[in-house]
Amino acid sequence: MKIENHVTLEFPSRSANEGFARTAAACFAAQLDPTLEEVNDIKTAVSEAVTNAIVHAYPDILGKIVLRLRIREDHALEITVKDWGVGIADVDQARTPLFTTGSEERSGMGFTIMESFMDTLKVRSAPGRGTTVTMVRRIARRAGR
């Protein structure tokens, strides 16, 4: 798949960066001329993926998170959130609705939200090596453009 444009952002796992990451993703996605609902879906999914990395990948330390955004020739946005943290031993269990290892301000619905707001969601993880979440959202081409 040909990539028409891309940007890569690296930041430490501070929770203040959750808002930055989703807003940056929304700004970059604007090139695809999305509807407000499509922008909100992207913001929500990015917020979930980045929050997972901040809360779960690096529970006690500040670690590196990389957010890569790519615009594909098929008018889709590919979002990759990568960390080098503790990893997930059982990805299927982590993706189960309501499952969480976090504290009570977590709902266990992060992956469920990402799945329902994106077209595809792929999670690759190895304990001790980190996690890569890749999501794709196609943006409808609007008539008259």
Binding flag, residue 92, another protein (CB under 8 A): no
Is residue 140 a contact partner of residue 89, using CB atoms and an 8 Å limit? no
Instruction: Indicate which residues carry an active-site annotation.
Output: 48, 52, 106
Query: Among residues 2, 16, 128, 142, which is the contact residue for another protein, using CB under 8 A?
Result: 16
| Placement of tokens 């993703």 in the chain | 25
Cβ contacts of residue 128 below 8 Å, gap of 6+?
A: 86, 87
Binding flag, residue 104, another protein (CB under 8 A): yes
Comparison of 6 and 14: residue with beta carbon closer to another protein: 14
Closest approach of Cβ 19 to another protein, in Å?
A: 6
Cα gap 117→41, rounded to integer Å? 6
Comparison of 5 and 116: residue with beta carbon closer to another protein: 116
Rg (CA), the chain: 15
| Placement of tokens 């299927």 in the chain | 92
Comparison of 77 and 114: residue with beta carbon closer to another protein: 114
Comparison of 5 and 120: residue with beta carbon closer to another protein: 120
Binding flag, residue 124, another protein (CB under 8 A): no
- The burial class, CB within 10 Å (0-12 / 13-18 / 19+), for 108 is middle
- The burial class, CB within 10 Å (0-12 / 13-18 / 19+), for 44 is middle
Of the candidate spans 66-74, 88-96, 98-106, 133-141, the one that interacts with another protein by CB under 8 A turns out to be: 98-106
Binding flag, residue 35, another protein (CB under 8 A): no
Which residues are near another protein by CB under 8 A? 15-16, 18-19, 22, 37, 40-41, 43-44, 47-48, 51, 54-55, 97, 104-107, 109-110, 112-113, 116-117
